[in-house]
Each structure stands twice: as structure tokens, then as C-alpha cells.
Amino acid sequence: MRRVAALSALTLLITGCYTGYGRAESRRALLTLGMTQAEVQELLGEPDQITQFQGRDVVVEWSYSYTTPFTMFIVPTLGLFTVVLSVPSAYYLLGLTWGGTTIWLRVEFGLDQRLLRAHTDLNY
């Protein structure tokens, strides 16, 4: 069983698969409180969505979306399918992978246009 797990991990590394949640968390880790909008944009690029608020401590929220690719689930499943688990792997492949998932990284700025909070939205 350890060999199968090692093979699956190696397959993931070789294919370069990375979940949307992992990418969002790694980008969030780059941010520090008090960064300017220009500094955040330099690190993360243009936001996918911008929301403006009135009358709150948060004035602007930038949202970045990171999607888990459909292939993220196919490659390891095919590896397990051919090696060990033919029927359960087919069920997993057909039941859990259609469409992929999207995680949002929310970056909030205050009145002074400096970073207040950055969090991932786990509602997917």
C-alpha cells in the first residue's frame, strides 16, 4: 500500500497538479497586513472581481479565483485504477471529478487603501 501511495504522490508531482485551495493559500501566505494595493497587485496580478463597500471599515475587496483542474483527479485515479482499485477508482473518477472546484481568495483593503485581511472562501 505504501508503494501505491508513493506512486500516487509521484504522479501528482510529475503532472504538476495543485489544488485551487493550495494555490489560494500559498498566495495568501505572501500577503502581510498593511500592504498597499499596488504591492498586492504586483504579487497577485489583476483581481478577478472587485467589490466596493460604503460605511464599513472595509472599503474595497479584491477577489482572486483559483480552480482545481479536472485533471487533478484523473491522473492519480487512473494510476490507482490500473494498479490496484479498478472498481472503486472508476466510481471515484465518475462521481467526484466533474467540473473541478473553485476557491476564492478575498483581499480586503481599508480606508487608507492598505491591506486589512486576506482569507480564502471555502464555500464551494
Would the pTM of this model clear 0.75, i.e. be above it? no
Q: What is the C-alpha to C-alpha distance for residues 11 and 30, in angstroms, rounded to an integer?
A: 27
- Can you say how many angstroms the Cα of residue 3 is from the centroid of all Cα atoms in its chain? 28
The CATH number of 19-69+85-121 is 3.30.1450.10
Mark 14-52 as b/e (b = at least 16 C-beta within 10 Å): eeebebbbebbeebbeebeeebeeeebeeebeebeeeee
Q: What is the pLDDT of residue 68?
A: 73
Q: What is the pLDDT of residue 15?
A: 52
Low-confidence residues of the chain: pLDDT under 70: 1-18, 56, 69-101, 122-124
Q: What is the C-alpha to C-alpha distance for residues 18 and 27, in angstroms, rounded to an integer?
A: 13
Q: What is the pLDDT of residue 78?
A: 65
